[in-house]
Amino acid sequence: MAQVNANLTHYESETGFDVLPPGWYHARVVDSEIKQGDKGPYINWTYEIVGHPNRVWDIMSLGNEVSMKRLKALAVCAGHPNPNFIADTEELHGKELMVRLKIEKDKNGQYEDKNKVSAFKPLGTGKDNPPAAVAAQSATAQPQKPVMPWEKA
């Protein structure tokens, strides 16, 4: 047994995050960690969705051509001063960009659906989903009673 003696009166319980609808979101790179996997090292990225409590995670294998292209896209879209050379992943921390999220379903049905980062683009390009508005819609969406012709003003 491990003794904790933690006073938790000032904390709310964490219940997890809801899956965001697919689309483009304003995000900030908040963390990265290089880990060793079965097939080699990889970067585990953490993005914060600006204006929303959600965070999303992304994995890029080091040495994998597709992942290296994605890493360069991340660097370019985040405004890295030299996207052709990244010495340390922390160079991207705090950078903001747009991330496209899709919903990934577990093939075995064992785990809940989760968001997956599928693309990047710089801020201010194209049509962007404002995450706060999207989250508010999904959190408060109530079935609407249809307006009958005689109820129209």
Residue 14, CA atoms < 13 Å, CB-side half-sphere: 5
Percent of the chain whose predicted confidence (pLDDT) is above 90: 59
**Which segment of 7-11, 18-22, 103-107, 126-130 scores lowest on mean pLDDT?**
126-130
DSSP states along 116-143 = EEEEEE-TTSS----HHHHHHHHHH--P
Q: How many Å apart are CA 76 and CA 82, to the nearest integer?
A: 8
Question: What are the structural domain ranges in the chain?
Answer: 23-129
Tokens 């900030």, residue located:
28
Task: Name the fold adopted by 23-129.
Answer: OB fold (Dihydrolipoamide Acetyltransferase, E2P) (2.40.50)
Kindly report, residue by residue over 28-80, the tens digit of the pLDDT: 999 999 999 999 999 999 999 999 998 999 999 998 999 999 999 999 999 99
Give the pTM. 0.72
